[in-house]
Chain A
Amino acid sequence: MPKIPGTGLLSGMRLTLTRFFQPKRTVMYPEVKPDIAPRNRGRLELVTDEHGTLKCETCFQCAQACPIECIDMGGTDTKGRFAVHWGPAEQYAERREESAMRRSGRTVSDAAAASGATINIAKVDEILEAHDYDPHHMLAILEAIQGAYGYLPVDALKRVSGATGAWYAMVYGTATFYKHLAFEPGVTRSIAVCRCANCLVSGAGSVMGTLSYEFGTEFGRAIPWSNLRLESLPSHLLGAPSPLVVIDGEPQRDLSAKNAASWAAALAGRYAA
């Protein structure tokens, strides 16, 4: 409260008068563009390098990091197993509850676990019993489930999460990381090429190139018209020659870089689905 009534008004007016003469803050857009930080996330855009290659790896980190979940990516996962989306679960017909549960990071709720299982769930219970319901043995449990069913059914994973108390996201995290676990039945047979240094020196690279070209797919993916998958062999079989190609666990001793093309043609005929 100023001491003399009216001096408050006058001091305010003095302030605006000084402002009248001060330099103005207006940025004369568009002649002057504002100073935007180089990392400004103004617009989502995929960038290419100077060779035209897309730099995006579809690693989902941006979608996971986005606090409002507005980023979506589509495509098949790196093992060619299923179509992946990362957006609001409500939008996608397939695995809607799945993705929500996976993203929630929580144990499968009782209601979700109680919904009717489409498979014989007794085997899962036996396996869990054998491993003492210990989530630290998740890898062994999942391998056993794959051994029992031939793949990892979704209902089995839900049961595992509900019974062991492990977060559903954790179960999925483990299941999707290890290459020997599969989510879909049917693609059980594989053509695997070893990529150890010895085999690479012996021409495994060109074998891989020929096979992927002939089959029209890439390594790590299912061959579209068959029940085969092209894979990379995790370790060189003892005593096997180089380059090592293993079909259904059988090392092929005659396949080399030179006859890979004809082999591929023959294989295509034999394993057509």
Chain B
Amino acid sequence: MKRLNAPKGWSQLLFVAPTEPWAALRAAASAGSAATTATLIDAGLRGRGGGGFLTGAKWQATAAEPASEHYAVANGYESDPAVFTNRLLMEENPQAIVEGLAIAALTVGAREAFIAVRAEYTEAIKRLEAVIANAERDGILGATLLGTGRELIITVRPLQGSSMIGEETVLMKALAGKRGQPEQTPPYPSTVGYLGKPTAVNNVATLAAVPWILNNGAEAYAQIGDTAQPGTVLVQISGSVANPGVIEVPTGTPLNEIIAAAGGTASGASIKALLVGGPTGGFIPANLFGGTPYSGAGLKSVGAHIGSGALLALDNSVAIPELATMLTRWCADEACGKTIPCRIGTRRLAEIGQRFVDGLAGPADAERLQKLAADVTDSALCAHEALAPSPLLTGVRYFASEFGPAVAAPSATPTSGRS
């Protein structure tokens, strides 16, 4: 899995190591917490982990929470098994991530910060730890932060054993050595996080952008990409494209341009749909590629979401019902088991999908699918559950003919219970 070169005109900032290491950290230290968050809010940086919150606002809320301890966590745990965007980022630009995390910790007043990484990413762990060790040796992190009296200890925490750890409340639990089951939000981790203290949790891609913003100014960042959600997103495009790989894409880019940047359709194939967002993502049919910008709002309008940043190009040989069912079954197997609608509902959804695949679906199954999907989404405690019905719902919506005559007319856009 390699990085692809982006076409001209696409800003590239995430893989660019800061020219002067730790300059942004020093600037943040001198500017102070309020100014830093103001800059980030002006830049419009939003979380890349799928939640899409304004990062500056999140840090502000965390810092404002009265507590004896604050924490900052970088979420480098990729739940999607097929995606390596964060891995590449951690391997190639660990400096920006560590610096971004340090700025976050400084802003919220944390003395301890963690980088959660998949235990299989041994190379990434090594490189991150190397950066931290160098920083501690140079007195930038560790017992004294930049020579001031306060301490800031950043630890890399390898985690494995459940694909739910990528969810932020689950991550809080896993870091504390507990069962990885999500909690109801609100209260968000900015109020009750690691060990019950306010914690600022950010994806590593979000944090990697922070030094760039502080070094180059909020204005510059706000001009990149979509106005509502500025900046770039790491996208991994694979499947029936000529050059599968990871591309850094400015938000708002239409899907067909992304496919073109990956070399276009592979020879001898024709793309039927894109699976956008990973195993809990949505299918987008080929006719919508031109009109759908790659941004949170744009994808939501067609029933998909950025998710893990995965784009899987499916050609005509792929049967949508079968793929959707297998993805739903994956969701069911990976479910942590806390809520009944997820634990059992995803299983039932997979069964309904299987009936469609086997041609045994009755007239009631289509309606049951919609109702069950609505129930599962409405009662969701975490994004895994809220988005688990997406493959089946978008499959039925756009590829009704493949599901057989039992499928009713497409329903309204399925919305996630978490905005």
Give the interface of A toward B (CB within 8 A).
51, 53, 55, 57, 59, 61, 135-141, 170, 173-174, 177-181, 194-201, 204-205, 220, 232-239
Residue pair B177, A138 in contact (C-beta under 8 Å): yes
User: Is there a chain A Cβ closer than 8 Å to B323's Cβ?
Assistant: yes
**Whole-angstrom distance between the Cβ of A161 and the nearest chain B Cβ:** 12
**Whole-angstrom distance between the Cβ of A235 and the nearest chain B Cβ:** 4
Query: Considering the complex, which residues of chain B in the window 314-331 have a beta carbon less than 8 Å from any beta carbon of chain A?
Result: 314, 318, 322-323, 326-327, 330
State the total of A-B contacts with C-beta under 8 angstroms: 104
User: Is there a chain A Cβ closer than 8 Å to B176's Cβ?
Assistant: yes
Residue pair B120, A201 in contact (C-beta under 8 Å): no
**Whole-angstrom distance between the Cβ of B313 and the nearest chain A Cβ:** 9
**Whole-angstrom distance between the Cβ of A71 and the nearest chain B Cβ:** 16
Quick one: which of B176, B177, B238, B343 contacts A198, CB cutoff 8 A? B238
Bound complex: CA A123 to CA B176 (Å): 22
User: Is there a chain A Cβ closer than 8 Å to B1's Cβ?
Assistant: yes
Residue pair B327, A197 in contact (C-beta under 8 Å): yes
Bound complex: CA A198 to CA B330 (Å): 13
Bound complex: CA A27 to CA B175 (Å): 60
- Top 6 A-B residue pairs of the complex, sorted by shortest distance between their CB atoms: A178-B161, A138-B177, A196-B82, A196-B81, A235-B81, A177-B179
Bound complex: CA A234 to CA B351 (Å): 23
Contacts of B411 in A (CB 8 A): none
Residue pair B160, A197 in contact (C-beta under 8 Å): no
Number of interface residues of B (CB under 8 A): 47
Bound complex: CA A237 to CA B181 (Å): 26
Chain B residues touching A, majority SS: mixed
Chain A residue with minimal CB distance to B344?
Answer: A57
Interface string of B252-278 (1 = CB under 8 A from A): 000000000000000000000001001
Q: Could you pull out 21 A-B pairs where Cβ atoms are within 8 angstroms?
A: A51-B351, A51-B355, A59-B344, A138-B176, A138-B177, A139-B161, A170-B178, A177-B180, A177-B181, A178-B160, A178-B161, A178-B162, A179-B161, A180-B160, A197-B80, A197-B278, A199-B82, A204-B326, A234-B81, A236-B81, A236-B82
Quick one: which of A136, A180, A200, A239 contacts B195, CB cutoff 8 A? A136
Contacts of A199 in B (CB 8 A): 82
Query: Considering the complex, which residues of chain B in the window 204-263 have a beta carbon less than 8 Å from any beta carbon of chain A?
Result: 238-239
Bound complex: CA A53 to CA B278 (Å): 30
Answer whether A136 and B177 are a contact pair too, CB < 8 Å, given A57-B347, A196-B279, A201-B239: yes
User: Is there a chain A Cβ closer than 8 Å to B337's Cβ?
Assistant: yes
Answer whether A238 and B87 are a contact pair too, CB < 8 Å, given A196-B279, A197-B279: yes
Give the interface of B toward A (CB within 8 A).
1, 78, 80-82, 84, 87, 118, 120, 157, 159-163, 174-181, 195, 238-239, 275, 278-279, 310, 312, 314, 318, 322-323, 326-327, 330, 333, 336-337, 340, 343-344, 347, 351, 355
User: Which of A178, A233, A239 gathers the greatest number of chain B CB atoms within 10 Å?
Assistant: A178
Bound complex: CA A181 to CA B162 (Å): 11
Contacts of B355 in A (CB 8 A): 51
Chain B residue with minimal CB distance to A199?
Answer: B82
Q: A170-B178, A178-B162 are in contact. List 12 more A-B contacts (CB 8 A).
A: A57-B347, A61-B340, A136-B175, A139-B159, A174-B177, A177-B181, A179-B161, A196-B82, A201-B312, A234-B160, A235-B81, A238-B1
Bound complex: CA A57 to CA B344 (Å): 7
**Whole-angstrom distance between the Cβ of A113 and the nearest chain B Cβ:** 20
Residue pair B318, A201 in contact (C-beta under 8 Å): yes
Chain B residue with minimal CB distance to A138?
Answer: B177
Residue pair A174, B178 in contact (C-beta under 8 Å): yes
Residue pair A59, B238 in contact (C-beta under 8 Å): no
Residue pair B160, A238 in contact (C-beta under 8 Å): no
Residue pair A139, B174 in contact (C-beta under 8 Å): yes
**Whole-angstrom distance between the Cβ of A182 and the nearest chain B Cβ:** 11
**Whole-angstrom distance between the Cβ of A239 and the nearest chain B Cβ:** 7
Bound complex: CA A67 to CA B83 (Å): 45
Chain B residue with minimal CB distance to A61?
Answer: B340
Quick one: which of B176, B312, B322 contacts A205, CB cutoff 8 A? B322
**Whole-angstrom distance between the Cβ of A195 and the nearest chain B Cβ:** 5
**Whole-angstrom distance between the Cβ of A252 and the nearest chain B Cβ:** 17
Residue pair B118, A235 in contact (C-beta under 8 Å): yes
Quick one: which of B81, B161, B340 contacts A195, CB cutoff 8 A? B81
**Whole-angstrom distance between the Cβ of B360 and the nearest chain A Cβ:** 8
Residue pair A178, B118 in contact (C-beta under 8 Å): no
Bound complex: CA A173 to CA B173 (Å): 12
**Whole-angstrom distance between the Cβ of B74 and the nearest chain A Cβ:** 17
Contacts of B347 in A (CB 8 A): 57
Contacts of B336 in A (CB 8 A): 177
Residue pair A234, B177 in contact (C-beta under 8 Å): no
**Whole-angstrom distance between the Cβ of A197 and the nearest chain B Cβ:** 5
Residue pair A174, B179 in contact (C-beta under 8 Å): yes
Residue pair A180, B177 in contact (C-beta under 8 Å): no
Contacts of B343 in A (CB 8 A): 57, 59
Bound complex: CA A79 to CA B253 (Å): 44
Contacts of A59 in B (CB 8 A): 337, 343-344
Chain B residue with minimal CB distance to A232?
Answer: B333
Contacts of A51 in B (CB 8 A): 351, 355
Bound complex: CA A59 to CA B339 (Å): 11
Answer whether A205 and B326 are a contact pair too, CB < 8 Å, given A174-B179, A235-B120, A238-B87: yes
Contacts of B159 in A (CB 8 A): 139
Bound complex: CA A236 to CA B162 (Å): 14
Contacts of B175 in A (CB 8 A): 136
Residue pair B314, A201 in contact (C-beta under 8 Å): yes
Chain A residue with minimal CB distance to B244?
Answer: A198
Residue pair B330, A195 in contact (C-beta under 8 Å): yes
Bound complex: CA A38 to CA B179 (Å): 35
Residue pair A200, B327 in contact (C-beta under 8 Å): yes
Bound complex: CA A179 to CA B81 (Å): 15
Contacts of B238 in A (CB 8 A): 198
